[in-house]
Amino acid sequence: MTDMPLQSDSLEIPGRPFGRMAWSVFGYALLMAFMFLPPFVVFLPAAIFHCGMRNGRRATWLALLIGATIGIGVGVAATSQSGATAADLRLAYGSFGSELLTLAIPAMLMLPLIERSVAFGNVLMAALLVALPGFAVTELASRAFLGVSHFADQFAQFEQMKAAVIANYQHTPGIPVEAVDAVRRSMEILTNFLPALAVISVIVFFVLSILMFGRLRAWGEFRRTREVSASAGVYLFRNLALPDWLLFAFVLSGLAPLATGMLQKVASNVLVVVLFLYLLQGLAIFRSLMASIGISGLGLLFAFLMLGFLSFTAGIGPILLTIAGLFDSFFDFRKFRRKDDSNESHTD
């Protein structure tokens, strides 16, 4: 791992005029305000990372404060104009609070790790550990100050979607009753894992943002120097490697069938999240192997399409990838590389 010099915490970075930096901070604030609105919230951490690397942490806190104020104000105003009720407005406040506590604040706290080019998997897991309390704080604060439950609203929305899906299958000619029952059972199972799905969405957002930030940093470095340093490849998807301590979470959550009541529900949701993380690591291993044998571009697209097709038809693709991700801590499947392999010669 290559360490990079830390950014200054002062508002003005040496070598940059204050006026130019002020415009940069304001521009990032507007970008963050835009990112607070769905569906662009997926790249909110990327905007924070990029602002932090350009302007420093203190300036990024200021940009986030301005951006959050503008974004929440615009979002609530749009909700009000759509004829929403008072309860809908309170839920909108809760939703923006969730974005702030589970995406924006964790991204800000990850800036020191990003500046030092800490490994992809370590940054992801650190962000997740910071984001998890954000879910609890959002729920408790929404109940205490807004009189609404953020999780209960998500549960109600899922129940509506579930009813619509089942009704669609029931009224579609030619679908047997057994298939409708299978869909109903699947939706009932998903209901038990709604908390895990919320956490998985945050994981996906951070993975995509880290990938985007890595690409933007590498492009900016190439534009300035016409070269790309080794540290620029840290945040390629193929380099996603989860820390070994996640195995303990897998073992402990794997005991969920032996538990009862709330403990079983919590352990089951933790297990789903851990398995999803290992699935991501399995995909990263697959991507690394494709790069090692020189497959890129259309060949890489075809490889992933075939992987998706086999997963959809046979159903064993995700299982094999998850197993590969789980055992990567023991065998390091990414050691196989060609001598002429380059970290930047392939796209992720």
* Residue 277 CB coordination number (10 Å): 26
More confident residue, 307 or 202: 202
**What is the Cα–Cα distance from 80 to 96, expressed in whole angstroms?**
15
Q: What is the pTM of this model?
A: 0.86
Q: Identify the top-confidence range among 157-161, 218-222, 341-345.
A: 157-161
Span 231-246, average pLDDT: 88
Q: Look at residue 348 in the predicted model and tell me its pLDDT.
A: 63
**Distance from chain centroid for Cα 205:** 3
Residue-wise pLDDT tens digits, 20-56: 888 999 999 999 999 988 888 999 999 999 999 888 8
Given a contact cutoff of 8 angstroms between Cβ atoms, the answer to whether 33 and 71 are in contact is: yes
At 25, list the tokens: 């901070």
Tell whether the model's pLDDT for residue 7 goes beyond 50: no
Residue-wise pLDDT tens digits, 318-338: 888 899 899 888 887 777 544
Measured CA to CA in angstroms, residue 251 lies from 8, 136, 271 at distances of: 41, 24, 9
- Helical H runs in the chain? 18-35, 44-55, 57-81, 86-99, 105-109, 111-115, 120-141, 150-170, 177-192, 194-225, 246-253, 261-292, 298-313, 317-331
**What is the Cα–Cα distance from 335 to 338, expressed in whole angstroms?**
10
Residue-wise pLDDT tens digits, 56-72: 899 999 999 999 999 88
Residue-wise pLDDT tens digits, 249-267: 999 988 877 877 888 889 9
Measured CA to CA in angstroms, residue 309 lies from 36, 186, 324 at distances of: 34, 21, 19
Q: Look at residue 11 in the predicted model and tell me its pLDDT.
A: 45
Q: Which of 217, 22, 10 is nearest to 120 (CA)?
A: 217
Q: Look at residue 200 in the predicted model and tell me its pLDDT.
A: 96
Q: Which of 270, 121, 132 is nearest to 193 (CA)?
A: 270
**Distance from chain centroid for Cα 213:** 13
